[in-house]
Structure formats: structure tokens, C-alpha cells
Amino acid sequence: MASVLVLGAGIMGLSTAWALSRAGHQVRVVEQDPVPNPRGSSVDDHRLIRHAYGVQAGYMRMIAPAYAAWDLLFREAGEVLHVPTGVLALSEAPHGWLADSRRLLRADGHAVEDLDATAVAAQYPFLDPTGITGAFRMREGGVLLARRIIARLAALLAGRGVEILRACVREVDPARASLVLEDGRLLGADALVVAAGPWGPRLMPALSARVRPTRQILVRLAPPPDLAKTWTRAPMLLDLAEEGGFYAVPPVAGTPLKIGDHRFAPVADPDGPREATAEEAETILAFARRRIRNLDRYRLLSASACWYDVEAAERFILEKAGPACFLMSGFSGHGFKFGPLLGLAMARAMARPDLAEALPGWAAGTHPPPPGLLEDVTEERRT
């Protein structure tokens, strides 16, 4: 079996290290910050997993194997860190993401329940139905407890003898599958996986033309006491208003209610401030205020920033960057849900050139998986 260096200990790096270690490879992870990394896009209270994906049918169809990969990981980790919530999607436009999602979901046999504005108001009285022209609800979908997942993955890897070396990297050499650390040390292996998130374009300059780091603001709230239990039972909320949509994650498993922006921010330095200003928080709250009734009754707990690595079409980049170097990048805000699945696929592709060749199209959501790529999760579904 091969020795493999993995650069980055976010969900992609750790998931790939997990998949490689279970395949028998000797794995070493290099990460510049503590794990979980408070600056990383993988490390927050939660991330969402849902089938609705607009016209991106490829990613919609990756959700079932993604769930199977999570089941495999949770079984090996000894803890399930997913809370089913279902999905409530709203729109003020008769066409677009919601209509496309509904059409493709039904075509693939998913149960989608249509709602009108009156039904939304009756069933979710904490929401203002003004302007809603379309809505649907799905039972499938839920919250992944992101920070706890990263910590559990790190512990699982430690138990398997996988070292997570805390060190800053100065240079990546894809041709030699090696890293030069800030202190001048050279690390080499039979293979290298670069999963450096928003720091990737800095370390691999050719990537900067395809991927940009963005600084995204998150706001955490405590609902008023009379609505606290109602919110813990609420579905994830996807509000798709054209002038500034937002998503809301219910306060499950002791986490706060979280609100974030659907839009991508301008290019930002991933080493920039994690603290959000009052003005930045208010921008997010303004989107939510028009949909969540009496938002001023909610207590602001915190506002902070995380960084995404955004590809222009929001398509994942999984490809060879050298004879024995693989690149994982461009995960925007929607990659976390696929972490274990992409890690397993990367481990398979590293062992087979034919799979490595087909990997980019599948990861981009434009091609079906080649035979053999998802063998691990196929077996998981059977069992």
C-alpha cells in the first residue's frame, strides 16, 4: 500500500484520510491550525444535507450515496451526528430554483409536498407568508453536526494511527507529491492529496483562475422562550427571494438557530478577521426579518465569518494535479454533505487510473459515476 500526504484537515481532508486509512494506506495529514480549525469552512455548528438542487440533477442524485457514506462513517465512528429535520423551501418567484428542484425531485421519485402561502402561515406561524408564490416540503434532509463530526473524525483517525501534523505549508510540489513547510522541512510520500479549502489558490497558483476564497457571514440566534420548542421541531428553511435569499438551520441538538446568506461574498483573504461587524450581521438579519416574524424578539448570540472556496459554477474539483497528486477544491457552501462520499471516491480513484480519469466529471455533477467508483457505499446500502 502507498504512503499518502493529505494537506488540510477540513471535512474533505479528514474524510479522504479516513477512506485511505480504511483501504490500508499509510496516511499523514498536515494542517496549519488546531483541529477542529475555527477558521475553516467545515467547522461550524452545522451543515445541511438535502436533495433539492435546482437544475443540478447530478448533485441531487449524489445525495443517496452520500447518506450511505455517512452511515458507514457514523458506524465506524460509533456515533450518529445527523439530525433529521426535513426541508421547507420557499420562493417569491414562479420560476427558478424552487420550480426546477420540484420538477427534478418528482421525476426521480422523491416525495414533494406543495404548500401555498396560506398553508405556510398556518403550519409555521413564526413565518411571514407575504410574497410567497411557491413552497414545498420534504421529509428527507437534515442537519449534520459539523464541528462534532470533524472532532470525531480526527479522533477516529488518531485511533487508527493517522498523524495530524500541525504545520504551515510554504510550497506544494504536485510533480513530486511533496510539501515544503514554513520551517524548511520537506515532506514527501507516494501520493499527495491537496484539500486546502480557501487556502488552496494561494498554495497552487494555477487554481486561482478557477476558485476564489470568499468570506461568508453567519448569525446565531436564540428564539424567544415561547418559540424555542417550535424551532427545535422546525425543518431547515431555504428562502429563495431574488433580492437576498437566506437559509435557516433549526436549533437542534443543543445548537443555536443559525441564519446565513445564499449569496457569495467578494473575494477575501482567508487569513482575514473571523469576527463579523454589527453591520455585516445586520445585512443577514435584514434578509431574515422579512420572513421571520418579530425577529427583534430573538436574541443575537454571535456573528462570525467562515471562508468558502468557490468555483464559478459551484461545481466540485476532484482531479489529478500531477503524476501522484490529487486536488480537491471548489466546494462552496454545499460540499460538506458529500465529504465522506468524495473521500471514498478519491481513495478508489487513487488505486485505478480509469476511475481517476472519470472522477472530475462525476464530481462536477455532469456525469454519472463510473462502475466501481462507489463500490463502498453500494455495499453499505446492501447491508
User: How far is it, in rounded angstroms, from Cα 164 to Cα 32?
Assistant: 10
Please state the pTM of the whole predicted model: 0.96
The pLDDT value recorded for residue 259 is 96
Q: For the chain, state the CA radius of gyration.
A: 21
Could you state, in chain order, the average pLDDT of each consecutive group of 10 residues for the chain (383 residues)? 95 98 97 87 88 96 98 97 98 90 97 97 96 96 97 97 97 97 97 97 94 94 97 95 82 96 84 90 92 97 92 96 97 95 97 95 97 85 55
DSSP assignment of 79-108 equals ---EEE--EEEEESSSSSHHHHHHHHHHHT
Q: How far is CA 268 from its chain centroid?
A: 19
Burial annotation 49-60 (CB, 10 A radius, 16+ → b, else e): bbbbbbebbbbb
The pLDDT value recorded for residue 264 is 82
Nearest to 90 by CA among 288, 379, 327: 288
What domains, with CATH codes, occur in the chain? 3-382 (3.30.9.10)
Upstream peptide bond of 129 is cis (omega within 30 degrees of 0):
no
User: How far is it, in rounded angstroms, from Cα 83 to Cα 45?
Assistant: 12
DSSP assignment of 7-76 equals E--SHHHHHHHHHHHHTT-EEEEEESS-SS-TTSTT-SS-EEE-S--TT-HHHHHHHHHHHHHHHHHHHH
Give Cα separations from 70 to 18, 26, 105, 255, 341 (angstroms).
Answer: 12, 23, 21, 20, 8
The pLDDT value recorded for residue 378 is 79
Backbone dihedral angles phi then psi of residue 325, each to the nearest 5 degrees: -125, 130
For the chain, the straight-line distance linking the first and the last C-alpha, in angstroms and rounded, comes to 27
